[in-house]
Structure 1
Protein backbone atom coordinates (compact mmCIF):
# COMPACT_ATOMS: atom_id res chain seq x y z
CA UNK A 1 0.00 0.00 0.00
CA UNK A 2 1.48 3.38 -0.94
CA UNK A 3 2.44 5.59 1.99
CA UNK A 4 0.18 8.42 0.76
CA UNK A 5 -3.02 6.28 0.99
CA UNK A 6 -2.46 5.04 4.57
CA UNK A 7 -4.43 6.72 7.35
CA UNK A 8 -2.36 8.34 10.03
CA UNK A 9 -3.38 7.37 13.57
CA UNK A 10 -5.09 10.00 15.68
CA UNK A 11 -2.72 12.19 17.58
CA UNK A 12 -2.99 12.35 21.36
CA UNK A 13 -4.51 15.86 21.11
CA UNK A 14 -7.13 14.68 18.59
CA UNK A 15 -8.12 11.78 20.89
CA UNK A 16 -8.52 14.15 23.85
CA UNK A 17 -10.57 16.58 21.76
CA UNK A 18 -12.82 13.76 20.49
CA UNK A 19 -13.35 12.40 24.02
CA UNK A 20 -14.21 15.88 25.30
CA UNK A 21 -16.65 16.44 22.43
CA UNK A 22 -18.42 13.11 23.08
CA UNK A 23 -18.63 13.76 26.81
CA UNK A 24 -20.03 17.26 26.21
CA UNK A 25 -22.58 15.89 23.71
CA UNK A 26 -23.80 13.34 26.25
CA UNK A 27 -24.17 16.02 28.91
CA UNK A 28 -26.31 18.13 26.59
CA UNK A 29 -28.66 15.22 25.88
CA UNK A 30 -28.91 13.80 29.40
CA UNK A 31 -31.22 16.46 30.89
CA UNK A 32 -33.77 15.91 28.12
CA UNK A 33 -33.86 12.20 28.88
CA UNK A 34 -34.19 12.71 32.62
CA UNK A 35 -36.42 15.79 32.50
CA UNK A 36 -38.91 15.93 35.37
CA UNK A 37 -42.40 17.27 34.70
CA UNK A 38 -42.79 21.01 35.13
CA UNK A 39 -45.37 23.61 34.29
CA UNK A 40 -44.57 25.55 31.11
CA UNK A 41 -44.22 29.22 32.00
CA UNK A 42 -47.09 31.61 31.37
CA UNK A 43 -46.58 33.30 28.03
CA UNK A 44 -44.22 30.59 26.79
CA UNK A 45 -44.52 29.14 23.30
CA UNK A 46 -44.87 25.62 24.73
CA UNK A 47 -47.82 26.61 26.95
CA UNK A 48 -49.59 28.37 24.07
CA UNK A 49 -49.04 25.41 21.72
CA UNK A 50 -50.44 22.95 24.28
CA UNK A 51 -53.55 25.07 24.90
CA UNK A 52 -54.02 25.67 21.16
CA UNK A 53 -53.89 21.90 20.57
CA UNK A 54 -56.73 21.32 23.05
CA UNK A 55 -58.85 24.30 21.97
CA UNK A 56 -60.45 22.92 18.72
CA UNK A 57 -61.69 19.77 20.41
CA UNK A 58 -63.00 21.69 23.43
CA UNK A 59 -64.74 24.25 21.21
CA UNK A 60 -66.36 21.54 19.08
CA UNK A 61 -67.71 19.74 22.17
CA UNK A 62 -68.72 22.87 24.07
CA UNK A 63 -70.10 24.61 20.95
CA UNK A 64 -68.52 27.94 21.80
CA UNK A 65 -65.17 29.72 21.60
CA UNK A 66 -63.23 29.10 24.80
CA UNK A 67 -60.41 30.42 26.87
CA UNK A 68 -58.89 28.25 29.55
CA UNK A 69 -58.14 28.70 33.22
CA UNK A 70 -55.28 26.29 33.81
CA UNK A 71 -55.81 24.09 36.87
CA UNK A 72 -52.88 21.74 36.11
CA UNK A 73 -50.33 21.67 33.34
CA UNK A 74 -47.15 19.63 33.28
CA UNK A 75 -44.88 18.59 30.44
CA UNK A 76 -41.77 16.42 30.19
CA UNK A 77 -40.02 14.27 27.60
CA UNK A 78 -42.51 15.06 24.84
CA UNK A 79 -45.59 14.41 27.01
CA UNK A 80 -48.04 16.91 28.52
CA UNK A 81 -51.09 16.56 30.74
CA UNK A 82 -53.56 19.37 31.40
CA UNK A 83 -56.59 19.99 33.55
CA UNK A 84 -58.42 23.05 32.25
CA UNK A 85 -61.52 25.00 33.23
CA UNK A 86 -62.94 26.27 29.95
CA UNK A 87 -64.93 29.49 29.91
CA UNK A 88 -66.28 31.83 27.29
CA UNK A 89 -63.90 34.61 26.24
CA UNK A 90 -64.15 37.28 28.91
CA UNK A 91 -64.86 34.78 31.69
CA UNK A 92 -68.53 33.84 31.32
CA UNK A 93 -69.41 30.31 32.44
CA UNK A 94 -70.37 27.63 29.95
CA UNK A 95 -73.74 25.96 30.53
CA UNK A 96 -73.36 22.27 29.68
CA UNK A 97 -77.04 22.20 28.60
CA UNK A 98 -75.98 24.22 25.49
CA UNK A 99 -73.22 21.77 24.54
CA UNK A 100 -73.01 18.29 23.03
CA UNK A 101 -73.21 17.10 26.64
CA UNK A 102 -76.75 18.43 27.20
CA UNK A 103 -78.20 14.96 27.93
CA UNK A 104 -75.31 13.97 30.24
CA UNK A 105 -74.79 17.32 32.00
CA UNK A 106 -76.39 16.27 35.27
CA UNK A 107 -73.98 13.32 35.55
CA UNK A 108 -70.85 15.34 34.80
CA UNK A 109 -68.50 17.27 37.04
CA UNK A 110 -68.89 20.50 35.07
CA UNK A 111 -66.88 21.34 31.96
CA UNK A 112 -63.47 20.61 33.53
CA UNK A 113 -61.39 19.31 30.63
CA UNK A 114 -58.45 16.93 30.81
CA UNK A 115 -56.07 16.06 28.00
CA UNK A 116 -52.97 13.93 27.53
CA UNK A 117 -50.79 15.19 24.70
CA UNK A 118 -47.69 13.92 22.92
CA UNK A 119 -45.27 16.10 20.98
CA UNK A 120 -44.74 14.36 17.64
CA UNK A 121 -44.40 15.49 14.03
CA UNK A 122 -43.46 19.03 15.15
CA UNK A 123 -46.70 19.66 17.06
CA UNK A 124 -48.68 18.70 20.16
CA UNK A 125 -51.22 15.96 19.48
CA UNK A 126 -54.08 14.90 21.75
CA UNK A 127 -53.72 11.27 22.83
CA UNK A 128 -56.54 11.15 25.40
CA UNK A 129 -59.28 13.62 26.31
CA UNK A 130 -62.18 13.87 28.78
CA UNK A 131 -64.70 16.52 29.72
CA UNK A 132 -66.37 16.50 33.14
CA UNK A 133 -65.29 13.08 34.42
CA UNK A 134 -66.40 12.24 37.94
CA UNK A 135 -63.36 10.10 38.71
CA UNK A 136 -59.61 10.01 38.15
CA UNK A 137 -60.01 8.24 34.81
CA UNK A 138 -56.30 7.93 34.07
CA UNK A 139 -55.55 5.86 37.18
CA UNK A 140 -55.05 2.24 36.15
CA UNK A 141 -55.16 3.00 32.41
CA UNK A 142 -52.18 1.25 30.75
CA UNK A 143 -51.69 4.24 28.44
CA UNK A 144 -50.66 6.36 31.41
CA UNK A 145 -47.92 3.92 32.42
CA UNK A 146 -45.90 5.35 29.52
CA UNK A 147 -45.87 8.92 30.79
CA UNK A 148 -43.22 10.38 33.10
CA UNK A 149 -43.96 10.09 36.82
CA UNK A 150 -45.47 13.32 38.14
CA UNK A 151 -47.08 14.32 34.84
CA UNK A 152 -50.61 13.75 36.16
CA UNK A 153 -51.95 15.32 39.37
CA UNK A 154 -52.43 12.05 41.31
Structure 2
Protein backbone atom coordinates (compact mmCIF):
# COMPACT_ATOMS: atom_id res chain seq x y z
CA UNK A 1 0.00 0.00 0.00
CA UNK A 2 1.39 3.41 -0.98
CA UNK A 3 0.32 6.57 0.76
CA UNK A 4 1.11 9.98 -0.70
CA UNK A 5 0.87 13.26 1.14
CA UNK A 6 0.65 16.62 -0.54
CA UNK A 7 2.24 19.39 1.44
CA UNK A 8 1.58 22.93 0.32
CA UNK A 9 4.11 25.45 1.54
CA UNK A 10 5.49 28.76 0.46
CA UNK A 11 8.24 26.88 -1.34
CA UNK A 12 5.69 25.33 -3.67
CA UNK A 13 4.18 28.72 -4.38
CA UNK A 14 7.43 30.60 -5.01
CA UNK A 15 6.43 31.26 -8.61
CA UNK A 16 3.31 33.10 -7.48
CA UNK A 17 3.31 36.85 -7.94
CA UNK A 18 3.08 39.20 -4.98
CA UNK A 19 -0.48 39.34 -3.66
CA UNK A 20 -2.47 40.53 -0.68
CA UNK A 21 -3.51 37.55 1.46
CA UNK A 22 -7.29 37.59 1.68
CA UNK A 23 -9.03 38.44 4.96
CA UNK A 24 -9.81 35.25 6.83
CA UNK A 25 -7.32 33.21 4.79
CA UNK A 26 -5.03 30.69 6.44
CA UNK A 27 -2.02 32.56 5.06
CA UNK A 28 -3.08 35.91 6.53
CA UNK A 29 -3.88 34.38 9.92
CA UNK A 30 -0.51 32.58 10.00
CA UNK A 31 1.38 35.81 9.23
CA UNK A 32 -0.50 37.78 11.91
CA UNK A 33 -0.13 34.98 14.47
CA UNK A 34 3.62 34.99 13.86
CA UNK A 35 3.83 38.71 14.63
CA UNK A 36 1.41 38.65 17.60
CA UNK A 37 3.67 37.12 20.32
CA UNK A 38 6.43 39.63 19.59
CA UNK A 39 4.01 42.53 19.84
CA UNK A 40 2.30 41.20 22.96
CA UNK A 41 5.71 40.89 24.66
CA UNK A 42 6.39 44.57 23.88
CA UNK A 43 2.90 46.04 24.28
CA UNK A 44 1.22 43.68 26.72
CA UNK A 45 -1.45 41.15 25.85
CA UNK A 46 -3.87 40.89 24.21
CA UNK A 47 -3.19 42.59 20.89
CA UNK A 48 -5.09 42.59 17.61
CA UNK A 49 -4.16 44.37 14.41
CA UNK A 50 -5.57 46.78 11.89
CA UNK A 51 -3.75 45.81 8.70
CA UNK A 52 -2.96 48.72 6.40
CA UNK A 53 -0.49 46.81 4.18
CA UNK A 54 0.13 43.12 3.67
CA UNK A 55 1.75 41.45 0.71
CA UNK A 56 3.10 37.96 0.22
CA UNK A 57 5.10 36.51 -2.63
CA UNK A 58 7.10 33.33 -2.85
CA UNK A 59 8.45 32.67 0.60
CA UNK A 60 8.40 36.33 1.72
CA UNK A 61 5.74 38.50 3.35
CA UNK A 62 5.69 42.13 4.50
CA UNK A 63 3.04 43.59 6.80
CA UNK A 64 2.17 47.10 7.96
CA UNK A 65 -0.01 47.04 11.06
CA UNK A 66 -1.52 49.22 13.72
CA UNK A 67 -1.75 47.24 16.97
CA UNK A 68 -4.73 47.80 19.25
CA UNK A 69 -6.55 46.12 22.08
CA UNK A 70 -9.41 43.78 21.13
CA UNK A 71 -12.45 45.69 19.98
CA UNK A 72 -10.43 48.73 18.94
CA UNK A 73 -9.07 49.84 22.30
CA UNK A 74 -6.12 52.22 22.21
CA UNK A 75 -2.78 51.01 23.57
CA UNK A 76 -1.23 53.45 26.04
CA UNK A 77 2.42 53.83 25.04
CA UNK A 78 3.36 54.53 28.68
CA UNK A 79 2.29 51.00 29.65
CA UNK A 80 4.63 49.36 27.12
CA UNK A 81 8.36 48.83 26.66
CA UNK A 82 8.27 52.04 24.58
CA UNK A 83 7.37 54.28 27.54
CA UNK A 84 9.31 57.52 27.27
CA UNK A 85 10.12 57.02 23.56
CA UNK A 86 6.95 58.53 22.10
CA UNK A 87 8.74 61.69 20.94
CA UNK A 88 10.97 59.57 18.71
CA UNK A 89 8.26 57.34 17.24
CA UNK A 90 5.46 57.66 14.71
CA UNK A 91 2.96 56.03 17.03
CA UNK A 92 2.82 52.25 17.14
CA UNK A 93 2.79 51.70 13.38
CA UNK A 94 4.50 48.35 13.01
CA UNK A 95 6.18 46.80 9.99
CA UNK A 96 7.40 43.22 9.77
CA UNK A 97 9.30 41.28 7.14
CA UNK A 98 8.71 37.54 7.32
CA UNK A 99 10.06 34.53 5.48
CA UNK A 100 8.53 31.09 5.18
CA UNK A 101 11.19 28.62 6.25
CA UNK A 102 11.22 25.38 8.24
CA UNK A 103 7.48 24.89 7.61
CA UNK A 104 6.44 28.14 9.27
CA UNK A 105 6.56 31.93 8.97
CA UNK A 106 9.52 33.55 10.74
CA UNK A 107 10.13 37.22 11.50
CA UNK A 108 13.26 38.39 9.72
CA UNK A 109 13.02 42.12 10.46
CA UNK A 110 10.56 44.43 12.21
CA UNK A 111 10.25 47.97 13.44
CA UNK A 112 7.74 49.81 15.59
CA UNK A 113 7.07 53.52 15.07
CA UNK A 114 9.57 54.31 12.30
CA UNK A 115 9.79 57.92 11.19
CA UNK A 116 11.20 57.07 7.76
CA UNK A 117 10.97 54.45 5.02
CA UNK A 118 13.55 52.20 6.68
CA UNK A 119 13.50 49.46 4.03
CA UNK A 120 14.73 51.71 1.21
CA UNK A 121 18.45 51.24 0.73
CA UNK A 122 18.68 48.26 3.08
CA UNK A 123 20.46 45.41 1.23
CA UNK A 124 18.21 42.81 2.88
CA UNK A 125 15.18 44.32 1.17
CA UNK A 126 16.91 44.16 -2.21
CA UNK A 127 16.47 40.37 -1.98
CA UNK A 128 12.70 40.36 -1.67
CA UNK A 129 10.18 40.25 -4.53
CA UNK A 130 9.30 43.62 -6.11
CA UNK A 131 6.00 44.97 -4.84
CA UNK A 132 6.25 43.40 -1.40
CA UNK A 133 6.81 46.75 0.33
CA UNK A 134 4.94 50.01 -0.25
CA UNK A 135 6.59 52.32 -2.78
TM beyond 0.5: yes
> Post-superposition shift, 1:33?
4.3
Relative contact order: is structure 1 or structure 2 higher (C-alpha 8 Å, sep ≥ 6)? Answer: 2
Query: 2:48: which partner in 1?
Result: 67
Determine which structure has more spread, i.e. the larger CA radius of gyration.
1
Deviations 1:89-110 (A, max 9, x none): 1111111111100021121101
Residues 65 and 93, structure 2, Cα contact 8 Å, conserved in 1: yes
Q: Report matched runs for 1:53-132 at 5 Å.
A: 53-132=34-113
Consecutive unaligned residues in structure 1, runs of 5 or more: 1-30
CA distance in 1 between partners of 2:14 and 2:35 (Å): 25
Residues 36 and 150, structure 1, Cα contact 8 Å, conserved in 2: no
Runs (4 or more) in structure 1 with deviation over 6 Å come to none
* Secondary structure of 2:42 counterpart: helix
> Post-superposition shift, 1:32?
3.8
Deviations 1:59-110 (A, max 9, x none): 1111231000100000001100000010001111111111100021121101
Aligned residues: 124
Structure (1/2) with the larger helix percentage: 1
Residues 14 and 57, structure 2, Cα contact 8 Å, conserved in 1: no
Give the aligned CA root-mean-square deviation in angstroms.
Answer: 1.2
Query: 1:5: which partner in 2?
Result: none
Residues 14 and 59, structure 2, Cα contact 8 Å, conserved in 1: no
CA distance in 2 between partners of 1:116 and 1:79 (Å): 7
> Post-superposition shift, 1:34?
3.6
